[in-house]
Amino acid sequence: MKYEPVIGLEVHIQLNTESKLFSGTRAKFGGAPNSYASYIDLAFPGTLPVLNEEAVRQALMFGLAINAKIHPFSIFARKNYFYPDLPKSYQISQANYPIVGEGVLEYEIDGQIKEALIVRAHLEEDAGKSLHDLIPQKTALDFNRAGCPLLEIVTAPIFHDAKETVAFLKMLHRLVTHLNICDGNMQEGSFRVDVNISLRPSGEQKLGTRCEIKNVNSFRFVEKAIAYEIERQASLLDHGLPVLQQTRLFHEATGQTIALRDKENAHDYRYFHCPDLVPLQVSQELLNEIRQQLPPLPKEVIAQLQEKYELSSAEALFFFEQPSVMQFFEKSCSELQTARPKAVANILLSEIMGYCRKEDKSFDSLGLIPRDLALMAERLADKTLSSKTAKQLLALLLDGATDVDALIEKHDLRQLQDTGFLQKIVAEVVQEFPNQFQEYRSGKDKLLGFFVGQIMKRTGGKASPEQIPELLQSYK
């Protein structure tokens, strides 16, 4: 490719606390407008912020889960700007001294494990919502969200295409929901992605001018936004035009990103330490306490899966990332006396997930039964099914059918293992292709495939392929 995209992410997750970051108001989504907005949230005169300890704990859980440096002191800063849905006309955030420093998040892509560098994560409060289309010629303000706790997670600019960006995001999403610090509901704005993207000529080290695409709230849109931006920026660069540093929004209807008015791009936030809050101290004791309370971290869960089921790390990571598939898998493995985890994993990961991607369906929507997969693996192992008939069986299962043994009978999926019968077929084929048979017998091993193919044709794909070479060799 002529240009290399360089992508960094800022992800805002809404923490799963009862109350807002600096007031005791309920912090859950929904509710009649302005029914969850106290005088503190509304910045009434004389009101002051008081830090929510649970939010701190959840931020620390995230930091520990990505093995990040936790700063023993961090400072809350005021980010000053005027906007109607920002009650204090400043947002309390963290600037130079965030609570969480550098950490690493592993994610899986195409069977490989990659490490994503997370530069920092900090606490900040959310703003209210401006609704421009509710009342004609007016903007309606709903402050329910004002003051809700956010953790802003910032990655280094380490991604180079939409695929890895989304793979990372999905893993991040999985992590924060696994830790129960975020409900992950992207429609409700619990997990918002800002994509910073620039292009540079391939091979060049220097970064190009980047644009920020704000508040993308689905993985699909992230992909589309990145695709559009790459094209847009490449086109500019091809024509020798500069890429302007802009904040842009993704419009789902058009699939394009649109720049916000320039005025909104030029902000001097006049950051300074918020004098209403004292520096946040995190002690080793607190960290140890939180470490105890963490659920098993991804690395542990993944290692356990690997060990228990003899999976590769990529396979295990994949399962971790997809809890419902993992649950299905584990259930499957416990259905029969003898578990065949590798086989079941293989069917799930290569066949079924591939099907889901192709047909754009979710795993849960397939309605598969764990026992069926367990039996399928069993029947493959005991050679009742050939790989071809197994595929046929799977197609039936994916269509909604169930009860493997019954289906095998009903659709005649048994692999042909009857040696006598096979010998007859082999004889037929050899007699039809005597020349090829000569060549094969005198060493042209490549022709095995040809004979297997012929035999499969005559047996409707049901011959057991393992027997064929021996039968061919022993034919007289």
Partner 1 sequence: MSDWHKKSVAELSNALHQGDVTSEQLTQHFLSRIEKYDNNLKCFIEVCPEVALSQAAKADEAFKNGSASVLTGIPFAHKDIFCTDGVRTTAGSKMLENFVPPYDATVTQRLFQAGMVMLGKANMDEFAMGSSTEHSYFGACRNPFDTDFVPGGSSGGSSAAVAAGLAPIATGSDTGGSIRQPASYCHLVGIKPTYGQVSRYGMIAFASSLDQGGVLAQTVQDAALMLEAMVGPDPMDSTTHNATGNPAYSATLEQGASRYKIAVPKTFIDAMDQEGQAEFHRVLQLLEKHGHQIDFVELNIANIVIPTYYVIAPAEASSNLARYDGVRYGYRSPQAQSVEEIYVKSRSEAFGYEVKRRILMGTYVLSSGYYEAFYHQATRIRAILRARFAEIFKNYDFVATPTALSSAFKLNALDHDPIAMYFSDLCTVSVNLANLPAISLPLMQHKGLPLGFQLIAPHFEETRLFQFSYQIEKMAPWSHILSPIKSSQ
Nearest distance, CB of residue 249 and partner 1, angstroms:
19
What does the alpha-carbon distance between residue 61 and residue 70 come to, in Å, rounded to a whole number?
10
Binding segment for partner 1 (CB under 8 A), chosen from 44-52, 153-161, 237-245, 300-308, is 44-52
Question: Which region, judged by CB under 8 A, interacts with partner 1, from 35-43, 56-64, 67-75, 106-114?
Answer: 35-43
137, 124 in Cβ contact below 8 A? no
* Residues contacting residue 235 through CB under 8 Å, at least 6 positions apart: none
Stretch that binds partner 1, among 45-53, 226-234, 370-378, 448-456 (CB under 8 A): 45-53
Our finding on whether 270 is near partner 1 (CB under 8 A) is yes
Between 86 and 368, whose beta carbon lies closer to partner 1? 86
Q: 112 or 139, CB closer to partner 1?
A: 139
Report the C-alpha gap between 216 and 231 in whole angstroms: 18
Using CB under 8 A as the binding criterion, the count of chain residues that bind partner 1 stands at: 28
CA separation, residue 435 to residues 60, 108, 431, 439, 470 (Å): 74, 50, 9, 6, 19
Bridge partner residues of 195 (DSSP): 9, 213
Smallest distance from the beta carbon of 142 to partner 1, in angstroms? Answer: 12
Six-digit token string for 105? 């998040």
Minimum CB separation from partner 1 for residue 95, in Å?
12
Question: How far apart are the C-alpha atoms of 205 and 119, rounded to whole Å?
Answer: 20
Give the binding range for partner 1 (CB under 8 A) out of 43-51, 222-230, 374-382, 405-413. 43-51
Residues 411-450 contacting partner 1, CB under 8 A: none
Residue ranges of alpha helices (H) inside 239-283 are 262-265
| 70-89: contacts with partner 1 (CB under 8 A) | 78, 80, 82, 84, 87-89
Could you say whether residue 49 binds partner 1 (CB under 8 A)? Answer: yes
- Share in percent of the chain as helix, strand, coil (round to 5): 40, 20, 40
**Min CB(53)–partner 1 separation in Å:** 12
Which sign does the torsion angle of CA 413, 414, 415, 421 carry? negative
Separation in Å, CA 164 to CA 116, 350, 374: 10, 19, 32
Nearer to partner 1, 44 or 73 (CB): 44
Residues ≥6 apart with Cβ < 8 Å to 21: 15, 49, 51, 52, 55, 92, 123, 124, 125, 147, 148, 149, 150
Taking CB under 8 A as the criterion, the residue among 33, 47, 200, 436 binding partner 1 is 47
Query: Considering beta carbons, is residue 245 or 304 the nearer one to partner 1?
Result: 245
Q: Please name the residues in contact with 236: beta carbons below 8 A apart, sequence gap of 6 or more.
A: 242, 243
**Contact string 273-302 vs partner 1 (x = CB under 8 A):** --xxxx------------------------
What are the tokens at 38?
């106290």
Q: Any contact of residue 140 with partner 1 (CB under 8 A)?
A: no
Candidate list 117, 140, 141, 401; residue touching partner 1; CB under 8 A: 141
Q: Which stretch binds partner 1 (CB under 8 A): 10-18, 37-45, 308-316, 405-413?
A: 37-45
9 touches 159 (CB < 8 A): yes
Least distance from partner 1 to the Cβ atom of residue 139, Å: 7
Q: Name which of 132 and 206 has its Cβ closer to partner 1.
A: 132
Question: Which of 62, 90, 191, 318: binder of partner 1 (CB under 8 A)?
Answer: 90
Residues that bind partner 1 (CB under 8 A): 39, 42-51, 78, 80, 82, 84, 87-90, 139, 141, 268, 270, 272, 275-278
